[in-house]
Amino acid sequence: MLDRTSRLKRSRMERADRNGSPLYPEFHGIIAAGASEYREIRATFPDARKYEPLDSITITNNSDENLKLYLNGTLVKLVAARSIVAIDNTAIWNYKLENISATNTVADEVEVTCQREGLTADKLAQRDYA
Q: What is the pLDDT of residues 51-82, one digit of tens each?
A: 889 999 999 999 999 999 999 999 999 999 99
Q: In angstroms, what is the C-alpha Rg of the chain?
A: 17
Q: How far apart are CA 88 and CA 117, in angstroms?
A: 8
pLDDT in tens, the chain (130 residues): 568 877 777 776 676 667 889 999 999 999 999 999 999 999 999 999 988 899 999 999 999 999 999 999 999 999 999 999 999 999 999 999 999 999 999 999 999 999 999 877 676 666 666 5
Q: Where are the domains of the chain?
A: 23-129
pTM (2 decimals)?
0.82
Decide: helix, strand or coil at residue 113: strand
Pairing of strands 83-92, 24-28: unpaired
Please tell me the predicted confidence (pLDDT) of residue 98: 98
Q: Which CATH code, of 3.40.50.1220, 2.60.40.180, 3.40.50.300, 2.60.120.10, is assigned to 23-129?
A: 2.60.120.10
Distance of alpha carbon 56 from alpha carbon 103, whole angstroms: 29
Q: Check: CB of residue 87 under 8 Å from CB of residue 71.
A: yes
H helices present in 1-120, as ranges: 4-19, 41-44
Compute φ and ψ for 17, nearest 5 degrees: -65, -45
* Beta-sheet pairing, 67-71 with 94-99: antiparallel
CB 121 within 8 A of CB 70: no
